[in-house]
A and B are shown apart, each in its own frame.
Chain A
Amino acid sequence: MARPPMGPEEPSTRALVLRGVRDALALPAWVVGLSMFAVGSLAGETGFPAGAAVLSTLMIWAGPAQVIFFGGIAVGTALPAIALAVALSSIRLLPMTLSTLPLFGGRAKGTGLQVLVAHYVTVTVWVEALRLLPPMPMEERLPYYLGFANACLLLCAVTTFFGYALVGALPLPLAAGLLFLTPTFFTLSLAAGARGASDWVAVGAGFVLAPVSTALVGKDFDLLLVGLVGGTAAYLVQKKLGRGPA
Chain B
Amino acid sequence: MTEALWPYLLVVVFGFLPSEVWRVVAVFLSRGFDEKAEILVWVRAVATALVAGVVAKIVFSPTGPLVAVPLVWRLAALALGVAAFFAARRSVMTGVVVGEAALIGAAWLAAGRMP
List chain A positions with a Cβ less than 8 A from chain B.
Answer: 27, 31, 38, 42, 48-49, 51-52, 55-56, 59-62, 64-67, 69, 71, 73, 79-80, 82-84, 86-87, 89-99, 101-103, 105, 111, 114-115, 118-119, 121, 123, 126-127, 130, 134, 171-177, 179-192, 198-199, 201-211, 213-214, 219, 222-223, 226-235, 238, 244, 246
Contact = CB atoms under 8 A, between A and B. Distances in A.
Interface residues of B, number: 78
> Chain A: interface secondary structure?
helix
A51 B8 contact: yes
Given A173-B107, A179-B64, A180-B99, A206 B34 contact: no
A234 B92 contact: no
Contacts of A198: 41, 45
B46 interface: yes
A216 to B, nearest CB: 13
Contacts of A211: 56, 60-61
Given A31-B96, A230-B50, 7 more contacts: A59-B12, A87-B19, A130-B44, A180-B66, A223-B50, A232-B46, A235-B41
Given A118-B24, A181-B100, A183-B78, A60 B35 contact: no
Given A98-B30, A114-B27, A121-B23, A174 B10 contact: no
Nearest to B10: A79
B11 A52 contact: yes
Contacts of B113: none
B7 interface: yes
Contacts, number: 322
A105 B50 contact: no
Contact of A186 (B15, B40, B55): B55
Contact of A92 (B8, B12, B50, B59): B50
A48 B7 contact: yes
Contacts of A123: 51, 54
A153 to B, nearest CB: 14
B14 A83 contact: yes
A84 B108 CA distance: 36
A92 B99 contact: no
Nearest to A185: B96
A234 to B, nearest CB: 4
Contacts of B111: 171-173
B87 interface: no
